[in-house]
Every structure is written in C-alpha cells, then in structure tokens.
Structure 1
Amino acid sequence: MSAAVIIGASGGIGGAIADALEEEGAFSIVHRFARSSTGTAHIDITDDASVANAAAFVSKGDAPTLVIVATGILHDADNGPEKALKDLNAAWLTQVYAVNAIGPALVAKHFLPLMPRAGRTVFAALSARVGSISDNRLGGWHGYRASKAALNQLIRTISIEERRRNSSSIVVALHPGTVDTALSKPFQGNVAPGHLFDAGRAAVQLLDVLDGLRPPDSGKLFAWDGAEVSP
C-alpha cells in the first residue's frame, strides 16, 4: 500500500479529491494538508520550512505515489484579476506568483524525493487553461494568467528532472474547468450552461484523467475532459 497527499484539502476541489480517494480505498492513507489546518495537517506552500515539515511528517509512513496540489488564488477581499495594465499592483502580483507558481514548485521540491524511484507515480498541480499563452485571445487577468503559465513551465521542467529519477513518473498540470467554489464564484455568470461543475464531479473527472495518463504524458497540461491544452 502507498499513501496519497492532497495539498489544499480545505478547498472545494482538494477536499472533494481527498473524499473520493478515501472512498476508493486504494491508498493506505490520504494525507490532507491545508493552510487553514492546525498541527501536522498545516501547510503554507509559500513557506519553504512549512512545506519541509509537512513532507517530513509524510516520510514517517508509507511512501506517497500520488501527490496533488489543489491550491490557487485568483482574488481576495481587496484584489481581483486585473482587467487592464492600470490595475497592476506589485504586491498582489507577488502574492499570486507565490501561491500559484512558487508554492507548487516547493511542494515538488520536498515531496517528489519521497516518492518511489520505480513504478508509476503521479504528481499533479491544478493549473488553468488561461495559463496557455497560445490560447490567450482576450488579454486581461495578467497576474493569474502569467502565474499559471509559470506553473505550466515549472511542471515541464520538473517532469524532465523527475523522469531521470523514475522513468515511470508522471508530473502534470490539470485544468479542472470552472468549478463551483469560492475561487470562481464572482465569475460564474459567464459560464455556459452545463459547464459549471460541482466539486464532487470535478474531483472524479480529474482523477479519471490521471488514471488514463502514461509516462509520455508527463510535463503536459490536461483539461478535465482529458484533452491536452497547448502551452
């Protein structure tokens, strides 16, 4: 038996993924980490020491063969996605990059070494289609787009290094679609009918995508329906 690790398990998607994995019963334990949690379940992905502490806790048990980073930030009480250059704010840009790109990279830094050096392993991070540079036709949302593009590039480079350690490893980014969570709440009015997913459905869709991936898929971005998204 092996372990699964969900980073961001207090969020809608992360919590639903953890629930689905526990219901499947394929892992000896499903570790749930979140910034809002206390004790050993606490993690701040923008803090290297905090991520290291979480990894050290996981290292005491069965090795993880699945790690999913289900974190992300699009807006907060004072800031939202920029509609124009005049809206750019250095402090907010820094925060968005820290959560959306740097954080998942720190998780990879500390958790990938815990995963087996042989056999199928999966490391996945939630990204977004708007992080695709070639798919950007509307502009705007500068910080969110750029931070997710940075994440996609990090996933690519991390996958290359991890392949040298374990040729059966899979490191990918996932686009969950628009999910009915606090992150998307202010922007759901523009979603086409049938394309707003509840968290439970989104979790199952993403896990189905992961189940269908193979080592040659490592380093890529996949949407909730299994389609590869161009960088």
Structure 2
Amino acid sequence: MINQLTLIIGANSDIGKAIASQVASLADTGLILISRQAIDEKDTVEEQNSLKVKKITVKDYQPQSIDNAIADLVAHSELPISQVFVCNGILHSETFQPEKRLEDFDAQAFQQVISANTLTPMLWVQKLTPILTRKSPCKFIVFSARVGSINDNKLGGWYSYRASKAALNMMLKTASIELARRAKNIKLISFHPGTTDTPLSKPFQKNVPADKLFTSEFVAKQLLTIVADTPIDHTLSYLDWQGKSINW
C-alpha cells in the first residue's frame, strides 16, 4: 500500500529515469515525475498503474510554471513527499562549451548556466518548502558537482559551471540554516554523482578511467542508499557518489 511519495524533477534525464525505475519497485512509494518533455512511454515506470505514477509536464522552469506544477501535484495526492530529487542542469550546449581560459568567458553563456544550475533548483526549494513542512521527514536532494568546491579547485577553467555550482551550494547552505528553524523535518543534500555516462558528460569522457565512468543505474543505486543512510540533522550535506563529504 502506497503511503509516501518520491518527487523527481528533471525526470527525463538519464539519472532521473534511473532513480524512478528503482523507486518504482518499492511497494509503499508512489512517484511524481516532472519534466519539460513528456516522459517516454517506454520507460520502466510506465509499467506501474496510474495510482503509482503521476507525470507532470511543464513548459519551462519559470516561477509560474513551477507554481502550476506544484498545484497539480498537491491536487493529485495528500500523501507525504519523503524524497525530492532535482536532477536538471547544464554544462554545455550547441552554442557554448565550458571555458578553458579567460578569453572564452561569455556573459550570455554564463547567464544560461547560472539560471539552469543555480536559479532553477533554488526556485524548487523555495516553492516546495511550504508543502513539505510537516511532521513527516523529507530528504531534498539537489545535483551539484565536485567542481563547485572552491577548496578542490586545482585545475581552473570551467568558470561558469564552477561558479553556478558554488553559488548553488551557498544558497542551499543558507536555506538549510533557515529550514533548521522553520522546517526541521527537511534535510538538504547537495550531491555530486561523479562522471556519469550521460549527454552532459559525453564530450569530456575521453580521459576518464573506465572505473570512474558510471552508469546512471549505478549512480541512482548509490544515491538512494546514501539518502536512506543520511540522518535529518538540520544542516546541508555536500556528498559524493560514495557518500563521502566534499570540502566547500
């Protein structure tokens, strides 16, 4: 019998699909999948009945679209949301690549990266908090990256991506301080999945050792184990795919 929900934002991403596939096997957990594109009808979760999976398609990740999606999911079920995964983000596009040197830095590209990697996740944190604030525990996972660590930056480059993830970490840390006062049931986790074999990392896999290029299924399994083992301690955790803390 379903008694809790898992919410996945960016559910059409490879890792989002892998998380959904594993959560779908849990008899007591329903799924709410949010994406800018319709969820592939051939996905594993499609095998579940309509009571198990709720799919919400949004036009974009602007505030009004997020508000509409949240209104839809609230109307769908009164069950508590025990897990939230924000999986979306951007590293490169058809028009820009990560910067190798100062001369490559471009203001327009930076705005796109900071919007996708920092602003969008924080809008979800802001707008979901009111419906997550209850007695039931909720773990809220946002995908960050090790390159967002200022302490760990030994190579330089990738100005926009590094800055967007560092800013995201700071905003999540700030939010965790506030939630420790007003929503003690919510645990924020900033997660580094490692180099995963997805379109985001595809152009940069050449020099990645075979044992350090992960499948989405592996990352999803690791993440769900980490989430289950991480206590609600009223602070932000910055963790890698092994569950180890990353220095800020």
- TM-score w.r.t. length of structure 2: 0.88
What root-mean-square deviation, in Å, do the aligned CA atoms of Structure 1 and Structure 2 show? Answer: 1.7
Q: Classify 1:26/1:178 alpha carbon distance in 2 versus 1 (closer, same or farther; 3 Å).
A: farther
Per the TM alignment, residue 65 of structure 1 is displaced from its structure 2 partner at its CA by: 1.9
Which residue in 2 is equivalent to 1:222?
Answer: 239
Q: Classify 1:207/1:102 alpha carbon distance in 2 versus 1 (closer, same or farther; 3 Å).
A: same
Aligned with 2:66 (options 46, 51, 57) = 51
Which residue in 1 is equivalent to 2:46?
Answer: none
Q: How does 1:1-231 map to 2 (within 5 A)?
A: 1-27=3-29, 29-37=30-38, 41-43=56-58, 46-60=61-75, 61=77, 62-216=79-233, 218-231=235-248
Secondary structure class of the residue paired with 1:172 = strand
Please say if residues 65 and 116 of structure 1, whose CA atoms lie closer than 8 Å, have aligned partners that are also in contact: no
- Farther-moved stretch of structure 1 (150-159 vs 161-170): 161-170
Look up the equivalent residue of 1:57 and give its one-letter code.
D
Per the TM alignment, residue 44 of structure 1 is displaced from its structure 2 partner at its CA by: 5.5
Please say if residues 17 and 204 of structure 1, whose CA atoms lie closer than 8 Å, have aligned partners that are also in contact: yes
Please say if residues 174 and 224 of structure 1, whose CA atoms lie closer than 8 Å, have aligned partners that are also in contact: yes
Moved over 6 A (4+): none
Per the TM alignment, residue 116 of structure 1 is displaced from its structure 2 partner at its CA by: 4.1
Q: How far apart are the structure 1 equivalents of 2:7 and 2:13?
A: 14
Q: How many corresponding residue pairs?
A: 230
Q: How far apart are the structure 2 equivalents of 1:175 and 1:3?
A: 23
Look up the equivalent residue of 2:67 and give its one-letter code.
A
Secondary structure class of the residue paired with 1:31 = strand
- Gapped regions of structure 1 (runs ≥ 5): none
Query: What whole-Å deviation, never above 9, does each CA across 1:27-52 have from its counterpart, x for those lacking one?
Result: 1x2111111238x6223664011111
- Structure showing greater radius of gyration is 2
- Gapped regions of structure 2 (runs ≥ 5): 40-54
Look up the equivalent residue of 1:163 and give its one-letter code.
A
Look up the equivalent residue of 1:134 and give its one-letter code.
N
Secondary structure class of the residue paired with 2:162 = helix
Please say if residues 117 and 164 of structure 2, whose CA atoms lie closer than 8 Å, have aligned partners that are also in contact: yes
Q: How far apart are the structure 1 equivalents of 2:219 and 2:59?
A: 24
Secondary structure class of the residue paired with 2:95 = coil
Please say if residues 172 and 219 of structure 1, whose CA atoms lie closer than 8 Å, have aligned partners that are also in contact: yes
Query: What whole-Å deviation, never above 9, does each CA across 1:60-112 have from its counterpart, x for those lacking one?
Result: 21231211100110001111111111111111100100000000000011112
Query: What whole-Å deviation, never above 9, does each CA across 1:3-24 have from its counterpart, x for those lacking one?
Result: 1110011010111111111112
Query: What whole-Å deviation, never above 9, does each CA across 1:104-135 have from its counterpart, x for those lacking one?
Result: 00001111211142232111100000000000
Please say if residues 118 and 167 of structure 2, whose CA atoms lie closer than 8 Å, have aligned partners that are also in contact: yes
What is the percent sequence identity of the aligned residues? 37
Secondary structure class of the residue paired with 1:139 = coil
Q: How far apart are the structure 1 equivalents of 2:64 and 2:126?
A: 12
- TM-score w.r.t. length of structure 1: 0.94
- Farther-moved stretch of structure 1 (140-149 vs 61-70): 61-70
